[in-house]
């Protein structure tokens, strides 16, 4: 790299820095932050309600179809061992079941019905 190039490159760096800084300054993230906050809040609510609904509906606390043992807490978002999450199950609703036998028999217990979830 010649001296001329070095000077040109540092001038370019300065211009790019200015451009990125101006873009960041003009990007109003208020709406995005509200969305993130809302989805976290909705997810937390959903986890709570779906957990108690599910437990009541299917007697989940005593259900052990493949003999893995019943975990102490079956909350949405707890990954219990198998890799169903690789197929996208639970990406939105947080439910990542390891019990394939259970989910193929009963479907997703959270009932979020998000369109890209394979259990929908």
Partner 1 sequence: MTQPSHMQDPLELWATEIAQRALGYAITLVRNRQDAEDIVHDCFSRLLAKSDDYNLPRDGAKLLFKSITNACINHTTRRRPESSLYEQELVKRSKVQDPVDHRTAGPLEIAMAHELGRAVELAMNELPVAQRAAVELRSLGHTLVEVAEMLDVSHANARVLVHRARAELAARLSPFIEETLP
Phi then psi dihedrals of residue 9, to 5 deg? -65, -40
- What does the per-residue mask of binding to partner 1 show for 47-86, with x meaning CB under 8 A? ------------------------------x---------
Query: Of 23 and 62, which has the nearer Cβ to partner 1?
Result: 23
Binding range to partner 1, per CB under 8 A, among 29-37, 53-61, 63-71, 110-118: 29-37
Note whether 87 binds partner 1 by CB under 8 A. no
Q: Decide if residue 15 touches partner 1 (CB under 8 A).
A: yes
Closer CB to partner 1, 37 or 57, in the complex: 37
Please list, in sequence order, all residues whose beta carbon lies within 8 angstroms of the beta carbon of residue 85, skipping any fewer than 6 positions away: 79, 91, 96
Q: Kindly report each contact of residues 48-55 with a partner whose C-beta sits within 8 Å and lies 24 or more positions away, as own/partner.
A: 50/76, 50/93, 50/95, 50/109, 50/110, 50/111, 50/112, 51/75, 51/76, 54/109, 54/110
Shortest Cβ 70–partner 1 spacing (Å):
21
CB 117 within 8 A of CB 91: yes
Footprint of partner 1 (CB under 8 A):
5, 7-9, 11-13, 15-20, 22-29, 31-33, 35-37, 39-41, 43, 77, 91, 94
């Amino acid at each position: 790299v010649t001296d001329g190039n070095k000077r040109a490159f540092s001038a370019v760096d300065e211009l790019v820095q200015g451009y990125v800084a101006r873009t960041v300054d003009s990007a109003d993230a208020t709406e995005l932050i509200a969305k993130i906050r809302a989805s976290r809040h909705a997810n937390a609510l959903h986890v709570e309600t779906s957990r108690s609904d599910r437990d009541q509906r299917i007697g989940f606390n005593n259900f052990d179809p493949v003999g893995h043992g019943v975990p102490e807490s079956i909350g949405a978002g707890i990954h219990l061992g198998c890799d169903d999450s690789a197929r996208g199950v639970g990406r939105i609703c947080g439910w990542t079941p390891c019990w394939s036998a259970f989910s193929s028999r009963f479907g997703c217990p959270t009932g979020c019905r998000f369109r890209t979830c394979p259990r929908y």
